[in-house]
Structure 1
Amino acid sequence: MTRRSLSAACAATAVIWGGATFADISPADIVWEDEVAIPASLNGVPGDPVAGADTVSSRSAGNCLSCHVNSAMPEHDFQGNIGPPLDGAGARWSEAELRGIIVDAKRMFPESMMPTFYNNNPDDYIRPGEAYTARAHNPETFSTLLTAAQVEDVVAYLMTLTDW
Structure 2
Amino acid sequence: MKYIFEAAFAVALSVTVAQADGVKPMDVAYVDGAVTTALTDQAGDAANGRKVFANRKQGNCLACHMNEDLSEQSFHGEVGPTMDGVADRWTEAELRAIVTNSKMVFEGSIMPAFYIDTGYERPLDKFAGKTILSAQQVEDVVAYLLTLKEE
Q: TM-score, normalised by structure 1?
A: 0.77
Partner Cα separation in structure 2 for residue 87 and residue 119 of structure 1? 26
Secondary structure of the corresponding residue to residue 58 of structure 2: coil
Could you list the structure 1 runs, at least 4 aligned residues long, displaced by more than 4 angstroms after superposition. none
Aligned residues: 136
**Larger radius of gyration between Structure 1 and Structure 2:** 2
1:151 and 2:148 matched:
no
1:14 and 2:17 matched:
yes
When the two chains are superposed, the root-mean-square deviation of aligned CA atoms in Å is 1.9
Write out per-residue CA displacement over residues 38-73 of structure 1, whole angstroms, 9 at most, x where no aligned residue.
011101211000000000000011000000000011
Q: TM-score, normalised by structure 2?
A: 0.83
Identity of aligned residues (%): 41
- Greater share of helix: 2
* Equivalent residue runs for 1:101-116 within 5 Å: 101-116=98-113
Structure 2 residue aligned with 1:81, among 78, 81, 86?
78
1:127 and 2:122 matched:
yes
Contact 2:30 2:104 in 1 (8 A): no
Structure 1 residue aligned with 2:95, among 72, 95, 98?
98
Partner Cα separation in structure 2 for residue 23 and residue 138 of structure 1? 20
What's the CA shift for 1:110? 1.3
What's the CA shift for 1:99? 0.2
* Equivalent residue runs for 1:30-41 within 5 Å: 30-34=28-32, 36-41=33-38
What's the CA shift for 1:30? 1.1
* Equivalent residue runs for 1:34-49 within 5 Å: 34=32, 36-49=33-46
Secondary structure of the corresponding residue to residue 42 of structure 1: coil
Q: Which runs of 5+ in 1 are unaligned?
A: 1-12, 16-20, 129-135
Contact 2:29 2:35 in 1 (8 A): yes
